[in-house]
Each structure stands twice: as C-alpha cells, then as structure tokens.
C-alpha cells in the first residue's frame, strides 16, 4: 500500500537532530547536542521511596484511569508555584496537567491553527514547537531574535503584513536555542503588540527556574490582564524529563478546548508520574533542590564559555546565558554548520546546527547550539576543545 499522507503531515520528517541524538547515546561520543538536564541531580532515591509507598498504599489512585485535566492536587500545586514564583494569578485562567510542556504547545496549535494560518516564532526557536506548528499546516514566520529578545520592528512588520497570524510563540527566558532572555521592556512591548493585533502569545517557560546569574524578569503571563497569553510550564528541567509532566495555564475557554483535544490524544497524563511530582513537592523542599541545579548549571555554563573563549576561532561569537541549558554560537560568515556538524561527529563531538531552529530549515546557517547541562565537566572541556579544532579547519 502506498500511503498518501495528510497535507499537514506530508512534508514532516524526523528532525535531523534526532539522528544526531541517537549518536549521542554512544558513550564514546561527547554530546553537546541534547537538551537533557543533568542526570546526577535527579532525586531518584526520594522518588523511589515515594513510588513504592504510592503503589503500596494508593493502588487505585496510582493505576486506575484519571481525569483528563490532571491530578487535582498537582494542579493546585502548579498554580501555587507559578503564583509565587512568576506572579501568575489570573482569575479567568485555568491550569491543566500536560504530558510534558511539549503537549501544551501541540494542543494549542491543534485548537487554534487552520492549515495555512501563520504562526510567528523567534528565529532561532525550539524545534519541538516549530514542528508542532508545522504538523498542523501552519506557515511559520520567523522574526529575528536579538540579545534582549525578539526584534520589535520586525515583529510589528510581521503582524502588519500578515493578517492570519494566530499565535506568537516565544521563549522569553533562557531561550532555546539562543540562551538569551527577553528584557522587561520588550516583554511589555510584545504584549502590547499581541493585544493590538488580537494574537495569542504562547509563553513557553521550561527553563525559568534555572537562573544562575542576573535578576528575575517578570513573565509575560504575569502581565496578562486581557487573557491573551497561554503559559506552558514543565517539571522536566527541575525534577525529571522522563516523567513527562508539564502544565498549561491559559484562559479558561482555551483550556476547555485543549482538554477536549487532550482527551482524544492520550486521555490523561500518566497518573504515577503526576503523583510522583506532587508528592515530591509536598515532602521535599524543591527550592533547595532547584538551587543545586542552578549552581551546577552556572558552573557548567562558565566552563563552556571559558572553553569557547580559549579554543574557538576569534570570529565566533556566542551568547552569555543567565540561566537555562544552552549557548548559541555564530561563526559570522558564509558557513554551513550542518556540514561542520558532520565533520565534528567524526571526531566524536555532536552539536546542533543552526538551520534546525529556523522557520526555513533548508538554508545553510553559520550558527549552532551547544548544551552544557548534560555532560561531565571533563567532557565539556574536551568537547569544546575538539570542536574548536574542527571549526578552525573551516575558518
């Protein structure tokens, strides 16, 4: 049988970085490619005790069907946390548990985007989100990202020129892949533009709790007096990504529709992971736990930047993250980092070429993303050193 795929999916391919990630499983390979949190910080012993107790004492809660909206106490804990940490407390909002932050993005896309509608994304942006929009036939409009956030003039132009923009997708804090943080001033201006054009903002904030330098910047959602921001959060980067527990906080009407979409997608997020997250937050001081993450990532980031300064060709520029998991580099010239990535793989170092994160993925790019959270200090130093040599062959 020759499968004739739907229009929305016919052009969709497995992302190139997934193939790179597969290589990353090889212990001989130094992976600066992934977005994995540091495994040494997983609270596995605490979760082991919680899991055993839950399954022993609450078999029905742990193993029977749950409700699509998510485990009620966890929803309350997530609400309380974003109220306390991010000032998010809209009375017209609702919060549901999603199967990772990723699912929140996909559900909103499914509920809002008709095929041919436009979605504005920062350029570069997170491939999981851009592909989610593509998978519903969205036309992506990339708007350049500056060190303090999206280019406002270009954003305004994109909104003026495209009348069918349904969503503006942003990662204002410790952006993936750029590692940059949008300034408060720009957040306010973005919000005003979204309001003027009646475009929903998806504020994706999986890394927000991972600040290791600089000052907290309020979320766009905390300014949302008009009900135009959908906020995607996640426990992946602060407890465990393998549990696939995230949340979506958005205007009630939108969340109600997202619940219907989630019902046909996976019925509900697995109960045991939800209960583990909930109990962990109840029993342990998650803030002191996250503090360890921040310290570790701050050190690893500094180590990577040090290596970049020492080993990369002088013309390569990089961002200086204040949190999160990624550094973004630019070779500043007519380079194709997808080709360079292939050369680096031969030296057992993997990273993600910049084209991956663009609205138009077909053009060669001089940029690339490095991750500092998942490798040992030794491997970071070694990996950057090897990569420096590879880059010098091209410059």
Looking at 79, 154, 216, 257, which residue binds a copy of itself (CB under 8 A)?
Answer: 257
Task: Supply the minimum distance, in Å, between the C-beta of residue 246 and a copy of itself.
Answer: 9
Q: How many residues bind a copy of itself (CB under 8 A)?
A: 89
DSSP state for residue 185 in the 8-state scheme: H
The torsion angles phi and psi of 356, rounded to 5 degrees, stand at: -55, -30
Per CB under 8 A, 164 contacts a copy of itself: no
Per CB under 8 A, 283 contacts a copy of itself: no
Per CB under 8 A, 22 contacts a copy of itself: yes
Per CB under 8 A, 163 contacts a copy of itself: no
Nearer to a copy of itself, 97 or 305 (CB): 97
Per CB under 8 A, 347 contacts a copy of itself: no
Per CB under 8 A, 297 contacts a copy of itself: no
Pairing of strands 200-204, 165-170: parallel
Nearer to a copy of itself, 268 or 365 (CB): 268
Per CB under 8 A, 266 contacts a copy of itself: yes
Per CB under 8 A, 162 contacts a copy of itself: no
Q: Which residues contact 3 (CB under 8 A, 6 or more apart)?
A: none
In the structure encoding, which two tokens stand for residue 81, read together?
């946390």
Termini Cα distance of the chain:
49
Calculate the CA dihedral of residues 256, 261, 266, 268 and round it to 10 degrees. 0
Per CB under 8 A, 272 contacts a copy of itself: yes
Write each residue from 72 to 101 as x if it is in contact with a copy of itself (CB under 8 A), else as -, in one continuous string: ---------------------------xx-
- The one segment of 207-215, 244-252, 343-351, 376-384 that binds a copy of itself by CB under 8 A: 244-252
Task: Supply the minimum distance, in Å, between the C-beta of residue 33 and a copy of itself.
Answer: 12
Check the CA dihedral 300-86-120-189 and report its sign. Answer: negative
The torsion angles phi and psi of 202, rounded to 5 degrees, stand at: -95, 115
Task: Supply the minimum distance, in Å, between the C-beta of residue 353 and a copy of itself.
Answer: 18
Looking at 19, 26, 63, 339, which residue binds a copy of itself (CB under 8 A)?
Answer: 63
In the structure encoding, which two tokens stand for residue 135, read together?
């998978």
- The one segment of 124-132, 292-300, 318-326, 332-340 that binds a copy of itself by CB under 8 A: 124-132
Nearer to a copy of itself, 117 or 181 (CB): 117
Q: How many CB atoms lie within 10 A of CB 147?
A: 12
Looking at 192, 267, 310, 395, which residue binds a copy of itself (CB under 8 A)?
Answer: 267
Per CB under 8 A, 233 contacts a copy of itself: no
- The one segment of 9-17, 77-85, 212-220, 313-321 that binds a copy of itself by CB under 8 A: 9-17
Q: DSSP readout, 89-155? A: --TTEEEEEESSHHHHHHHHHHHH--TT-EEEEEES--HHHHHHHHTTTPEEEEEEEETTEE-HHHH
Q: Where are the alpha helices (DSSP H) in 167-244?
A: 184-196
Task: Supply the minimum distance, in Å, between the C-beta of residue 387 and a copy of itself.
Answer: 22
Residue 219: HSE in the Cβ half-sphere, 13 Å Cα cutoff: 30
Q: Are 177 and 328 a contacting pair, CB within 8 Å?
A: yes
Nearer to a copy of itself, 31 or 337 (CB): 31
Task: Supply the minimum distance, in Å, between the C-beta of residue 282 and a copy of itself.
Answer: 17
Nearer to a copy of itself, 66 or 354 (CB): 66
Per CB under 8 A, 145 contacts a copy of itself: no
Output the CA angle 221-105-183, nearest 5 degrees. Answer: 35
């Amino acid at each position: 049988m020759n499968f004739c795929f739907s229009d929305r999916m016919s052009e969709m391919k497995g992302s190139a970085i997934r193939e790179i990630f597969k290589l990353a499983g090889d212990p001989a390979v130094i992976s600066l490619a992934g977005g994995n949190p540091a495994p040494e910080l997983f609270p596995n012993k605490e979760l082991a005790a919680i899991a055993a107790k839950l399954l022993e004492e609450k078999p029905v809660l742990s193993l029977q069907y749950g409700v699509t909206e998510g485990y009620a106490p966890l929803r309350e804990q997530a609400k309380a946390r974003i109220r306390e940490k991010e000032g998010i407390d809209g009375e017209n909002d609702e919060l549901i548990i999603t199967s990772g932050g990723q699912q929140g993005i996909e559900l909103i896309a499914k509920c809002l985007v008709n095929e041919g509608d436009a979605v504005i994304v920062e350029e570069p942006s997170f491939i999981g989100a851009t592909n989610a929009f593509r998978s519903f036939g969205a036309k992506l409009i990339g708007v350049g990202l500056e060190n303090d956030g999206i280019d406002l003039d270009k954003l305004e132009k994109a909104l003026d020129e495209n009348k069918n923009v349904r969503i503006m997708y942003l990662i204002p804090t410790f952006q993936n892949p750029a590692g940059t943080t949008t300034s408060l001033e720009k957040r306010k201006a973005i919000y005003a533009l979204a309001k003027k054009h009646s475009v929903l903002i998806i504020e994706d904030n999986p890394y927000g709790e991972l600040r290791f330098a600089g000052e907290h910047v309020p979320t766009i959602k905390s300014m949302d007096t008009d009900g135009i921001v959908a906020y995607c959060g996640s426990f992946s980067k602060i407890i465990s990504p393998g549990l696939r527990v995230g949340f979506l906080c958005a205007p009630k009407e939108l969340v109600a529709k997202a619940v219907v979409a989630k019902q046909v997608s996976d019925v509900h997020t697995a109960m045991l992971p939800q209960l583990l997250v909930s109990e962990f937050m109840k029993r342990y001081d998650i803030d002191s736990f996250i503090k360890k993450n921040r310290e570790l990532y701050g050190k690893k980031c500094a180590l990577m930047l040090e290596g970049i300064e020492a080993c990369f060709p002088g013309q390569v520029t990089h961002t200086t993250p204040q949190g999160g998991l990624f550094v973004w580099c630019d070779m500043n010239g007519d380079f194709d980092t997808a080709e360079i990535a292939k050369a680096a793989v031969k030296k057992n170092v993997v990273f993600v070429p910049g084209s991956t994160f663009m609205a138009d993925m077909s053009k060669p790019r001089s940029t690339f993303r490095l991750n500092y959270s998942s490798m040992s200090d030794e491997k970071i130093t070694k990996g950057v050193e090897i990569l420096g040599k590879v880059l010098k062959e091209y410059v």
